[in-house]
């Protein structure tokens, strides 16, 4: 059986913003952990909040942090944050202008196909479910990561400018809670990244080549 002909899957803008994010995000996480290390708890110093945090009072290893100390972590975090925001806006602008968002947006009708795809990944279903350019689980992940990115930016601004953007800080329950939600997004990003890379390598390595070259060659059944 001959291989199917390659198809154009990822536009250059998508590949550029994907790899820029892949470079910027680890630096943001590492510098954020350096900042967190200056005060590894949530709430006022005299009365910390009893919020779920398995790393309360702990310091992350040096290899996982960027900046060396608080000021260095802040400098790196701010230096990387703006390119991260701009990259995200360029990506969203591309989706809006081209209409590509339609193939990425998770809708209620995708719930059942997402379940079928999960069963396939867990090897509880033999046949690969039909899909278009992206399967339902991918749509859910891409939609969730955009929402998560917006949340991380919003909470970041809330703790960066708590006076000038007091309305935004208040929206998240105040400075300390905004800081907590900003911290939580870090671990969701980490979990998403690990799962994303694992699924790409284990289930569809052709998509990694496609994200580099733009062209996809695979055997998964599809329909539009």
Task: Judge contact between 44 and 175, C-beta under 8 A.
Answer: no
What pLDDT is attached to residue 126?
A: 76
User: Does the pLDDT value for residue 188 go beyond 60?
Assistant: yes
**Mean pLDDT, range 175-203, rounded to an integer:** 87
Rounded to whole angstroms, the Cα distance separating 125 from 119 reads 5
Task: Judge contact between 65 and 34, C-beta under 8 A.
Answer: yes
pTM: predicted TM-score of the whole model, two decimal places = 0.82
DSSP 8-state code for residue 102 = G
What's the N-to-C CA distance of the chain in angstroms? 23
Give the pLDDT band (50/70/90) at residue 224: very low
What pLDDT is attached to residue 223?
A: 44
Task: Judge contact between 106 and 171, C-beta under 8 A.
Answer: no
Q: What are 39-98's pLDDT values in tens digits?
A: 888 888 777 788 888 887 778 899 999 999 999 999 999 999 999 999 999 999 999 999
The full set of domain ranges for the chain reads: 8-40+65-101, 104-224
Task: Judge contact between 140 and 110, C-beta under 8 A.
Answer: yes
Instruction: Take residue 32 and report the two structure tokens written for it.
Output: 């954020």
Q: Is 210 helix (H, G, I), strand (E, B) or coil?
A: helix
DSSP 8-state code for residue 3 = P
């Amino acid at each position: 059986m001959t291989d199917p002909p390659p198809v154009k899957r990822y536009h250059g803008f998508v590949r550029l913003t994907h790899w820029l994010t892949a470079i910027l995000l680890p630096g943001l996480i590492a510098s954020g952990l350096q900042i967190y290390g200056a005060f590894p708890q949530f709430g006022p110093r005299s009365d910390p909040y009893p919020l779920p945090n398995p790393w309360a009072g702990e310091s992350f290893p040096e290899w996982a942090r960027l900046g060396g100390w608080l000021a260095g972590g802040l400098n790196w975090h701010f230096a990387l944050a703006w390119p991260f925001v701009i990259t995200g806006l360029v990506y969203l602008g591309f989706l809006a202008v081209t209409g590509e968002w339609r193939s990425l947006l998770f809708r209620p009708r995708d719930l059942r196909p997402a379940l079928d795809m999960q069963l396939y990944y867990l090897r509880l279903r033999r046949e690969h479910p039909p899909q278009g350019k992206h399967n339902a689980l991918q749509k859910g992940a891409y939609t969730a990561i955009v929402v998560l990115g917006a949340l991380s930016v919003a909470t970041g601004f809330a703790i960066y400018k708590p006076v000038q953007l007091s309305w935004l800080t208040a929206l998240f329950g105040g400075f300390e809670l905004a800081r907590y939600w900003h911290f939580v997004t870090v671990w969701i990003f980490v979990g998403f990244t690990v799962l994303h890379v694992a699924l790409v390598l284990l289930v569809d390595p052709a998509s990694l080549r496609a994200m580099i070259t733009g062209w996809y060659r695979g055997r998964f059944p599809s329909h539009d």
